[in-house]
Structure 1
Amino acid sequence: MVPAHAAPIEVAPAYGNKALAVAASKEGAPYARGASGPERFDCSGLTLYAFRQAGKKLPRTAEQQYEHTRPVPSVQRAAGDLVFFPKGSTVGHVGIYAGNDKLWHAPRPGASVRLERIWTGNVRYGRAT
């Protein structure tokens, strides 16, 4: 029995888990600015591609994706949610939360799609709606 004061457990919609699996399947794909797959990706291109393959449409840029999602408190984040990294007054990077404080992302030029520990507490989580 769950105590009445317990916060509800959040579960990302099924398409979040599908998008997560798609992103993981692209491990090793090279970063390319402005690329959205299927062989090369930038950060928002990877999330765009992964969610499209899962049947969910997202806008193109990290900032637009942030504005298109429902904010999720970090204590309610779930695998398949989007992880946004603020940069000044905008959003500079995005990835897909994989659980255990890790995300799948296309980090930067010269790198490739990979699973990595979230390196900062200054992140926001969003759930595609």
Structure 2
Amino acid sequence: MSHTAHIPSHRKPRRSASKMALRAGVAGGVLSTLAVAAAAGTANAAEPVTETIELPTLTADLSAQIAQSADATAQTADSYEARAQQDAAAVKAAKQAAKDQAEAEKKAEAKKKAEAKAKAEREAARERAARDSERTQLSTSSAPSGGGSSASSASSSSSKSAPASGSVGTVISFLKAQLGDAYVMGASGPNAWDCSSLVQAAFKQVGVDLPRVSQAQSTAGTPVSLSNLQVGDILYWGGAGSAYHVGVYIGNGQYLDAANPSKGVVIQDLSGYPASGAVRVL
């Protein structure tokens, strides 16, 4: 026995041939798999894969649905716009109606006041006319009788008149009620007149419709002589049909007219401003 037999050997034990062969086979298989994978990766890299995505086809039904949706949207927009326009029109109409109502109420109030004033003036005119009639009757009954020159008799017959009564009295009463009113060209009352509007308004009180202007009024009735005037005859200055001024004879050689802006409605003597002619409508 060797003296070193009891010492374990430091040499690695030998592997068996079968184990070594097994390991070599496994390694070779692994290497083969890696080679195949590498080759496949190279091929894939050389030829990129593409994928095709098919889009949906736009059919006739889908087109119709889209068109209907667009039409519905447009109709809704138009409806909103129409409603907005209707609302704006309603607001505007309401404002205008309120304004018109206020103006109508204002006019109605003014008309009511004017009617009340006219009524008061008519009553006052009737009272004045009654007093004037009494004075005229007293003056006529107390006038001295007797002769005189033929000239004075003619003058007296042309200026003398009976107390106004009936329709003529109403005309004269209306005219006298306007004494002191202003003269304004184109005005037709109730507080301002021109010559023809005053005459027209006076005869309208008894249902006689005269033309508005003096030219037409000068031919509206029956022509009468200035020497045979009666109360209520219409006097005119200028030619018949072309008169530039009118007034109404009230008796005693006097007439009442809307004279001019400085005088207004006054009573004047024919001797101071002789008329050109006269017509009778009552």
Q: Name the TM-score class by shorter chain.
A: 0.7 to 0.9
What are structure 2's unaligned runs of at least 5 residues? 1-160
Structure 2 distance, partners of 1:54, 1:111, is: 27
1:39 to 160, 171, 191: 191
Give the alignment's Cα RMSD to 1 decimal: 2.5
In the alignment, which residue of structure 2 is the partner of 1:61? 213
| Cα separation, 2, equivalents of 1:121 and 1:40 | 25
Moved more, 112-121 or 64-73: 112-121
Q: In the alignment, which of 247, 250, 253 is matched to residue 98 of structure 1?
A: 250
Distance 1:48 1:31 in 2: 15
Report which of the two has the higher share of strand: 1
1:125 aligns with 2:278: yes
The C-alpha deviation readout for 1:56-105, integer Å capped at 9, x for no partner, is: 11000111111211101122210111011116982010001011111010
1: CA distance between counterparts of 2:274 and 2:178? Answer: 26
Moved more, 28-37 or 112-121: 112-121
Bigger Rg, which one = 2
Distance 1:46 1:103 in 2: 13
Give, in whole Å, the separation in 2 of the partners of 1:88 and 1:62: 10
The answer as to whether partners of 1:15 and 1:56 remain within 8 angstroms in 2 is no
Contact 1:16–1:81 (Cα < 8 Å) also in 2: no
By percentage of residues, which structure has more helix?
2
* 68 and 27 in structure 1: CA distance in 2 versus 1, 3 angstrom threshold: same
CA distance in 2, matches of 1:125, 1:83: 4
Aligned residue runs from structure 1 range 78-117, under 5 A: 78-86=230-238, 90-117=242-269
State the shift of 1:117 in Å: 0.6
Contact in 2 for aligned 1:36/1:48 (Cα 8 Å)? no
SS of alignment partner, residue 278 of structure 2: strand
175, 179, 195: which one pairs with 1:23? 175
TM-score, length of structure 2 as denominator length: 0.39
Q: Does 1:50 align with 2:198?
A: no
Task: Give yes or no for contact 2:171–2:202 (8 Å, CA) kept in 1.
Answer: yes
Asked if the contact 1:62/1:91 (under 8 Å) is kept, the reply is: yes
How far, CA to CA, are the matches of 1:124 and 1:14 in structure 2?
Answer: 24
Q: CA deviation at 1:52?
A: 0.7
Shift of 1:110: 2.7
Separation in structure 2 between the aligned mates of residue 89 and residue 13 of structure 1, nearest angstrom = 29
Provide the rounded CA distance (Å) in 1 between the counterparts of 2:273 and 2:241: 17
* TM value normalised by structure 1: 0.82
The answer to whether the 8 Å contact 1:28/1:114 transfers is yes
Hey, what's the Cα distance between the residues in 2 that align with 1:75 and 1:50? 23
Residue 182 of structure 2: SS of its match in structure 1? coil
